Structure 1
Amino acid sequence: MTEHATDARIAVVTGASRGIGRAVAIALAKAGHHIVALARTQGALDELDDEIRALGGSATLVPLDLTDGPAIDRLGLSLYERYGRVDVLVGNAGVLGPLSPLGHVDPRRFDEVMAVNVTANWRLIRSLDPLLRQSAAGRAVFMTSGAAHKCRAYWGPYAISKAALEAMVRTYAAETQNTSAVTANLFNPGPLRTRMRAQAMPGEDPMTLRTPEDAAPWIVRMVEPGETRTGLLFDFPTEDWLVPQLPLPEA
């Protein structure tokens, strides 16, 4: 990372090279944030950087595998040294994992889903919480799914990981509510035209779905300093704030 101190709000976005993460990174850049873009692929990050700079924005590119916990720790230290704070964290990166009866899931595949969808987000909270607390309005948003609530057959690893993520984010919200200016919320995108959706629903016509670009402005609103709700879930299909433990409305 080569960027230095800036007056712009610093926004860390994981899975920023495609899908929802890319759309959110671009939308946040348009709104004046400096983007710290995390993804595994350098080439895709370079393309994102070109698009952000064409908009007049700025980005720091961080090629990083989120299963590398020590690398996430180093990220927090590097961001502290350069900026002294983080204003926004969008925990977007996730994997679908196998769609299979629980008893048939390979343990390594199960561990991968939990590592990316749960443990990596905990490591991000652990690494970036001190920096979010240095912000005048720290905002954290994590991607969840209706799968966490519906518990459909064969969706076990994904549903379990998202249910765990929701419990973790709500816990973090409770821990920061009265001790800082940090909020932590969940965002349920619902059916969007993404690679993961196509993987999960291969027979679905993607042109019938809304796009990541449709959802991104709502996430931008969630991380604005004036949005002080915390410990809640924003349900994009219904465009409504919900209490996470209650069943989600049918889209």
Structure 2
Amino acid sequence: MSIPDLTNRIALVTGASRGIGYQIAKQMAAAGAHVIAVARTVGGLEDLDDEIKEERARTGKGEATLVPLDLADMQGIDRLGGAINDRWGKLDILVANAGVLGTISPVGHVEAKVFEKVMNINVTSTWRLIRSVDPLLRKSDAGRAILLSSAAAHSARAFWAPYAASKAAVEAMARSWADEAKTFSLRVNSVDPGRTRTAMRAQAVPGEDPLTLPHPSEVAARIVPLADPALERTGEIYQAQPDRWVRYQMPA
């Protein structure tokens, strides 16, 4: 899939200060979108803004609005939807990328505060974000929602229980949302980005050589096409591979 033309589209990207979210935001801006970049780390957002401004100076495409926000701030998420409505009156693209790993541990050894944080950030804040922007996406002529998932949701490997459970919940929520919205112009899909050279991957697999993994920019280039206004598929789960997309076969 090639990068679509996103000229004049309004795109909200969470976790945009580093890794896959940073690269998705950068590539969407380069494709013409106005990116609302959300993250906790102000420095990373400022770096992103600098790159987007440099690209705009060269090509005339792309802009960014920076939103420093911890997704544990549920009322802040609510206010974000209201602010987008006041400024633009709609939202064209949502990329729910932000998430936390928690700990790799036997499920009975996971601390309650760790489990609760994983569920709060990965599941509850995603639901709160959906609730905040769903009306705005329905105002778009081609609303697109992309929710980041993980193979852990399906493999349910030992020691990954909290993270796996959280991503399975996100996928189920995305499919239900897609079914609710199928009579509208809104399309909702989940993406497993696969093994990627990110800080979270290094935390999960500390002995792995990062240079053997795809760079986040490569993975982002396979995710951005799901924001294409011409996309028709919805309620599906995609897995990024180096040379192709693999679509999970889901039950009817």
Residue 240 in structure 1 maps to residue 246 in structure 2: yes
Find the counterpart in structure 2 of residue 85 from structure 1.
Answer: 90
Deviation of the 1:80 alpha carbon = 0.2
Find the counterpart in structure 1 of residue 221 from structure 2.
Answer: 217
Find the counterpart in structure 2 of residue 21 from structure 1.
Answer: 21
Q: 1:98 aligns with which of 89, 103, 106?
A: 103
| 1:97-246 equivalence runs, <5 A | 97-178=102-183, 180-237=184-241, 239-244=245-250
**Structure 2: which 5+ residue stretches go unaligned?**
1-6, 57-61
CA RMSD of aligned residues (A): 1.3
1-side partners of 2:251 and 2:105: how far apart?
25
Percent of matched pairs sharing the same residue? 53
TM-score, structure 1 as length reference:
0.93
Give the match's secondary structure for 1:187: strand
Deviation sequence 1:58-102 (CA, Å, 0-9, x none): 100000010111100000000000000000000000111011111
Deviation of the 1:241 alpha carbon = 2.2
Find the counterpart in structure 1 of residue 59 from structure 2.
Answer: none
Deviation of the 1:11 alpha carbon = 0.3
Find the counterpart in structure 2 of residue 44 from structure 1.
Answer: 44
2-side partners of 1:245 and 1:214: how far apart?
30
- Give the partner amino acid of 2:108: G
1-side partners of 2:251 and 2:40: how far apart?
32
- Give the partner amino acid of 1:38: V
Give the match's secondary structure for 2:103: coil
Give the match's secondary structure for 2:81: helix
2-side partners of 1:230 and 1:85: how far apart?
20
Deviation of the 1:34 alpha carbon = 0.3
Deviation of the 1:245 alpha carbon = 6.2
2-side partners of 1:128 and 1:93: how far apart?
16
Give the match's secondary structure for 1:55: helix
Deviation sequence 1:140-174 (CA, Å, 0-9, x none): 00111110001111001000000101100001000
Deviation of the 1:117 alpha carbon = 0.7
Deviation sequence 1:122-143 (CA, Å, 0-9, x none): 0110000000000000000011
2-side partners of 1:82 and 1:241: how far apart?
36
Give the match's secondary structure for 1:240: strand
- Give the partner amino acid of 2:84: L
Asked whether the 8 Å contact 1:166–1:244 carries over to 2, the reply is: no
Deviation sequence 1:201-247 (CA, Å, 0-9, x none): 1111111111111111222210110011000011102522223569x
2-side partners of 1:101 and 1:183: how far apart?
37
Number of residue pairs the alignment of both structures matches: 239
